[in-house]
Amino acid sequence: MKCENKGNICIIKDNQDDITAFLMKLTHEHKTFEKQNLIVDISKHSDISVKQINAFLPLSKAHKKGKKSFVIIADVDFNSVSDKLVIVPTLQEAHDMIEMDEIERDLGF
């Protein structure tokens, strides 16, 4: 797991080949990142399943309770995964989603 901080955003990249182990490690270390907006980059896993993506849902919900964004970068059919997850194909779009979330929170939505 590789972490890169940019302001109030933490970009976490999986540097292993086991998505389940990565999710477990990320969940275990969540307290470290809970005060930042998270971008979880799992785009290197081109063969990731919908079930594996949906496994991030509990972590996403827990993170959003703290009024912070949780965005996943993945190459997957966006219509087949839970609509409660924010999934984008590129890093730039992840930054854009966080920016929109911040604006909504500032406006009280």
102 and 108 in contact (C-beta within 8 Å)? no
Confidence band for 26, pLDDT divided at 50, 70 and 90? very high
User: Which of the four pLDDT bands, split at 50, 70 and 90, describes residue 71?
Assistant: very high
Question: For residue 24, what is the enclosing H or E element?
Answer: helix 19-28
Q: What angle do CA 76, 27, 90 make, to 5 degrees?
A: 30
27: confidence class by pLDDT, cuts 50, 70, 90:
very high
| pLDDT band, very low/low/confident/very high, at 101 (cuts 50, 70, 90) | very high
Architecture in CATH for domain 2-76: 2-Layer Sandwich (3.30)
Q: Is the pLDDT of residue 109 over 80?
A: no
Dist. CA 76–CA 2, nearest whole Å: 22
Do residues 35 and 94 lie in contact, with contact meaning Cβ atoms separated by under 8 Å? no
Q: Cβ neighbours of residue 109 under 8 Å, at least 6 residues apart?
A: none
Query: Domain limits of the chain?
Result: 2-76
